Structure 1
Amino acid sequence: MREITCRSIFLKFSFVFLIGLAAAPGWAQTPPLPGNLPVAESAKDPVLPSVATPRVATGKDLYCAGYIRATAPSTEMKIIGGEEENRIAHFGQGDVVYLNIGRSRNIRAGMLFSVTRPMGKFRSPYKRVGGKDLGVYVRELGVLRVIAVQEKTATARIVVSCDDVQLGDVLVTFTEKSSPATDISQPLPRYQPAYEDLAGHIVLQREQHETIGPRDVVYIDLGTEDGVKVGDAFTIYRKKPDDGNVFNFNDDDVVLRQSSDYESDKFKGGKYSNTHPYEARQQVKNARSGVPQKIVGELIVIAVEGKSATAIVTRTTQEVHTGDWVRSR
């Protein structure tokens, strides 16, 4: 009986000892703080930030980039009216419009359509090989969703608007798009030559601006016929440093007058003197055999057609212009 009692006491003390060890700070596992507890940031559990791969195009830049295609989209499906057409002529996001397609064309509620506007044929002034006709320039204006269907018409709401939508704008079947990734962690290679194994030009900016900057959507005169693919990166460059200058420097005549202000030629110095025979700036340019190319930016292709591609300018070193050269890298 005594042996059983001693054993029971021993087991009790062992159990208490183990409980005490578990309660010690060094042995216990600290539970995480509740996320909504208003404590100082330094007291919160560290959370590693997630790093998302940056995308070239997002949102409206992806679905409203536009394109230059060999043929214009069919004009069979179009916007024929609007719920508030009695007071507005231009429709935008949230507005309700009427379509000329219905159940007879297998249209169902919930279907999505892209709104486009063909702008006309586009000819590249720079393309010499393969012809100058690039196709039909088509602007993408937004996306609408069908909310009600009648026999020969449908009612839709504009869910994405990148520009004003008007009666007569053309509908095309909606296609989900994805953007290529971009890596701007490395500096722009400004002083590496852009060899012209696949070279073309920027022929147009989406809003028809002549001066182009980062995030602008542009079109180049290279396409699938030239081997261009979505995600291809191109260097934007100029063959001469003064190509595309905003300002012209025509002060040579002033310098000439100043350099001739001597009593006689003997005080101008020898032929190696800076003041001896003045040589105009253009004379120097005409005599040089060549200069390095001037890198002014880069772009990445987000959509490709037969003879053209749609791209986004990702980085620039100065203003970019339509007509600037592009070269794959």
Structure 2
Amino acid sequence: MSLKKMTNSKGILWLLLSFTVLPLLPHSVAEGQAVEGARQTAASFPIERVQTPTEADVACAGFIEKQPLPRAQFVAAGLTTPNTTKFGTGELVYLAGTGYQLGQTYTILRELRNPNPGELFAGQSKLLRATGQPYAELARVRIVDIRHKLAIAEVEFSCDPVVPGDLVRPYSKQSAVAFHPPITFDRFVPLGTGKAGTILMAKDYDYELGTGATVYVNLGTGDGLKPGDYLRTYRTYSADRKDAVDSLSFQAARSEDTQRYPASMDPSVLTRSKGPVVHIADLPTRGVGEIVVLKAGESSATGMIVFALEDVHVGDSVMLDRR
């Protein structure tokens, strides 16, 4: 290869690399630049690299419905019944009910119940009942035969196994979430005046959550929410103190052997030391992570955690991030 060709090749390579790298650079203000009342550092304003939800993340997200859905259409059995009770991609299932059309696509849903009666935060059950009924989205099926009393459908895509009794409703394709370039995350931004919500529950009834987890919140279209919006999730130290596990850390010894007058946190008359008193309510609210809205109903929304600085908990607060 001639020197001229090598030079041209290197130039093209550097040009391609520049276009590849530039979108990955945060379009926010640089470290050290002043923010009103704060100074940006890597610790207080970390770079938020937002995970983009996949088509499967959206299709398998589930939702909370204000009113229970009809149960007239449901999965009755499958080709290998009774030897098989769970069905997945590529298998045939039989659908009970009427109104099925050849070639039409349907979503298989499951009306959920929590097998664990305990609450993950005080008032969770009451708040969830007021918001609606949770549903899991299990699979997408296509009708391949309507010559019998039960319609026959092929499972084209499955998130989780389908079982008899799962519900059927017409399929509606969800819009994809656009890529979001990296930005800075203001860890201690003062809370705005918008309506605050709560993470009511998580997919599969998980509790400690990280990036990629699906959550359900009690904010919806009635609160101005729409798919593609971002929610900031945050937690107060007072909330940590109410947690059955985290509260134990507040009771642990914090003194240093060489410290003459150790501080005490909201002490009682019996536990107060001679040192300074720290009031937990005075500690700043800290940002925990970011959630992108995948689906939004009137009073609830399904979201995916796309960035987390620490474990996100069911019961954490959320608020619309208007950046």
TM-score w.r.t. the length of structure 1 is: 0.70
In 2, Cα distance between equivalents of 1:241 and 1:188: 22
Residue 318 (structure 1) aligns with: 310
> How far is 1:125 from its partner?
5.5
Instruction: Answer yes or no: is the 8 Å Cα contact 1:101–1:107 preserved in 2.
Output: no
Structure 1 segment 197-216 matched on structure 2, within 5 A = 197-216=194-213
- Looking at structure 1, the residues matched to 294 and 156 of structure 2 have their Cα atoms a distance apart, in angstroms, of 22
Q: Quick check: 1:248 aligned with 2:248?
A: yes
Question: In structure 1, the residue corresponding to 2:135 is in which secondary structure?
Answer: strand
Task: State whether structure 2 residue 143 is matched by structure 1 residue 142.
Answer: no
Q: 3-state DSSP class of the match of 2:205?
A: coil
* Residue 116 (str. 1) matches residue 109 (str. 2): yes
- Give the deviation of 1:137 after TM superposition: 0.8
Equivalent residue number for residue 281 of structure 1: 265
SS in 2 for 1:133: helix
Q: 2:230 aligns with which of 215, 221, 233?
A: 233
- Post-superposition Cα deviations, 1:277-319, rounded to whole Å, max 9, x if no partner, equal x443343665466222111101011111121110111100011
In 1, Cα distance between the equivalents of 2:188 and 2:311? 17
Counterpart CA distance in 1 for 2:264 and 2:122 is 32
The alpha-carbon deviation at position 101 of structure 1 amounts to 4.4
* Between 199-208 and 219-228, the greater mean CA deviation after superposition: 219-228
Equivalent residue, structure 2, for 1:107: 101
Selected match of 2:300 from 308, 314, 319:
308
Shift of 1:197: 2.0
**1:69 maps onto 2:65 in alignment:** yes
The equivalences for 1:1-329 within 5 A come to 48=16, 56-101=52-97, 105=99, 107-108=101-102, 110-120=103-113, 133-240=130-237, 243=240, 246=246, 248-249=248-249, 250-252=251-253, 255=255, 274-276=259-261, 278-283=262-267, 287=279, 290-329=282-321
Q: Measure the CA separation in 1 of the matches of 2:185 and 2:68.
A: 37
SS in 2 for 1:88: coil
Residues 55 and 286 (structure 1), Cα distance of their counterparts in 2 relative to 1, 3 Å cut: closer
Q: Following TM superposition, by how much is the alpha carbon of 1:151 offset from its aligned partner in structure 2, in angstroms?
A: 4.5
CA RMSD of aligned residues (A): 3.6
- Ranges in structure 1 where 5+ consecutive residues have no aligned partner: 1-25, 31-41, 260-273
Residues 43, 75 of structure 1: alpha-carbon distance in 2 compared, 3 angstrom cutoff: same
Measured against aligned partners, the alpha-carbon deviations of 1:251-288 in whole angstroms (never above 9, x if no partner) come to 33x959x68xxxxxxxxxxxxxx515x44334366546
**Which sections of structure 2, spanning at least 5 residues, go unmatched?**
25-49, 268-275
> CA contact under 8 A between 2:263 and 2:277: conserved in structure 1?
no
Q: Which residue of 2 aligns with 1:8?
A: none
* 1:13 equivalent in structure 2: none
Q: Based on CA coordinates, which of the two structures has the bigger radius of gyration?
A: 1
Residue 224 of structure 1: CA displacement? 1.9
Residue 230 of structure 1, CA deviation: 1.6
Q: 1:133 to 1:160 in 2, by over 3 A?
A: same
1:115 is aligned with what amino acid?
A: I
- Alpha-carbon shift at residue 246 of structure 1 (Å): 4.6
Whether the 8 Å CA contact 1:194–1:235 is kept in 2: the answer is no
Q: Under a length normalisation based on structure 2, what TM-score does the superposition of the two structures give? A: 0.72
Identify which range, 155-164 or 49-58, moves more after superposition.
Answer: 49-58
Report the Cα distance in structure 2 between the residues aligned to 1:291 and 1:73, rounded to whole angstroms. 44
